[in-house]
Amino acid sequence: MRFTDYLFHTPWWLPTLIIVVGAVVFYVANNRQEVRPRTVGLSVVCLGVLLAFVSYFVDTDLEKAETHTRQLIRAVNDKDWTKARSLLDKATTVSIANVTTLYRGGDQIVAKAQEATDRYGLQSVTLTGLDSRQDQTLITISANVVSLQTYVGAPITSRWEFDYQQSAEGWYLSEIRAVEIGRSQGEQMQHMFPGR
């Protein structure tokens, strides 16, 4: 993690640890009636609280990409195709990992998502896990989801990757990759997607 990640994308335990250490120093110094250590303890508590506030109220590019991914998955779950289309770029592609690009552009992606939803009788899509990483101008969000559809009648787990690229206009969703659906990977998944 870079320094700015600790400042703006702080893991919950870091400000908690700082606040606890400051509180212990303050408590011990207060019992001994030592002014300087008590002030240091209070300052450390304030630093921990400030770090928590900064992390909560300032969204990093990584956090924005995570939020965008959650919104897209929620839009598919709600079958809100207008919202889903607004979250896609004209350059966004859908592909199968290490195989081929299936669809290009928000209009085609949404049309094929609707077709797949009707074909399989999609009832719900639930996000079960999210992992994110940033490498300069590329953010990759790995999402684990569980979907229910009438076609299969049982929950299906799948893993997807969402790539966000930085451009002159800002960040945009460049690629959605199917990594695994059920136990199928690579070319085994190709028949699951509506034809181009």
Nearest to 175 by CA among 189, 158, 193, 163: 163
Q: pLDDT, tens digit, for every residue of 86-109?
A: 999 999 999 998 888 999 999 999
Say how many domains are in the chain. 2
Contact indicator for 108, 122 with CB cutoff of 8 Å: no
Q: Are residues 78 and 172 in the same domain?
A: yes
Confidence of residue 162 (pLDDT cuts 50, 70, 90): very high
Q: Are residues 126 and 170 in the same domain?
A: yes
Q: Are residues 48 and 70 in the same domain?
A: no
Record the tokens describing residue 33, joined without a space: 């009636």
Q: Are residues 133 and 51 in the same domain?
A: no
Nearest to 94 by CA among 169, 14, 163, 25: 163
Per-residue confidence (pLDDT) for residue 2, from 0 to 100: 56
pLDDT at 8 over 70: no
Q: Are residues 85 and 174 in the same domain?
A: yes
Q: Are residues 73 and 53 in the same domain?
A: no
Mean pLDDT of 120-128: 94
DSSP per-residue codes, the chain: --HHHHHHS--THHHHHHHHHHHHHHHHHHHHT-HHHHHHHHHHHHHHHHHHHHHHHS--HHHHHHHHHHHHHHHHHHT-HHHHHHTS-TT-EEEETTTEEEEESHHHHHHHHHHHHHHHTEEEEEEEEEEEEEETTEEEEEEEEEEEETTT-S-EEEEEEEEEEEETTEEEEEEEEEEEETTB-GGGGGGGSPP-
Residue 168, domain extent: 61-192
pLDDT at 110 over 60: yes
Q: Are residues 141 and 67 in the same domain?
A: yes
- Residue 65: which CATH number? 3.10.450.50
Q: Are residues 69 and 129 in the same domain?
A: yes
Q: Are residues 52 and 68 in the same domain?
A: no
Mean pLDDT of 6-33: 87
What region, left, alpha or beta, does residue 22 occupy, with left being phi > 0 and alpha being psi -120 to 50 degrees? alpha
Q: Are residues 104 and 123 in the same domain?
A: yes
Per-residue confidence (pLDDT) for residue 175, from 0 to 100: 97
How far apart are alpha carbons 96 and 161 in whole angstroms?
Answer: 10
Q: pLDDT, tens digit, for every residue of 54-85?
A: 877 777 888 899 999 999 999 999 999 999 99
Residue that finishes a domain, picked among 57, 75, 91: 57
Record the tokens describing residue 140, joined without a space: 């990759």
Nearest to 141 by CA among 150, 131, 155, 149: 131
Q: pLDDT, tens digit, for every residue of 28-46?
A: 999 999 999 999 999 999 9
Residue that finishes a domain, picked among 57, 73, 97: 57
Per-residue confidence (pLDDT) for residue 5, from 0 to 100: 58
Confidence of residue 157 (pLDDT cuts 50, 70, 90): very high
Largest Cα span, the chain: 76
Q: Are residues 99 and 136 in the same domain?
A: yes
Per-residue confidence (pLDDT) for residue 173, from 0 to 100: 96
Per-residue confidence (pLDDT) for residue 153, from 0 to 100: 79
Confidence of residue 12 (pLDDT cuts 50, 70, 90): confident
Q: Are residues 172 and 75 in the same domain?
A: yes
Per-residue confidence (pLDDT) for residue 158, from 0 to 100: 96
Q: pLDDT, tens digit, for every residue of 132-155?
A: 998 889 999 999 999 999 988 789
190 contact partners, CB below 8 Å, separation of at least 6 = 96, 99, 100, 102
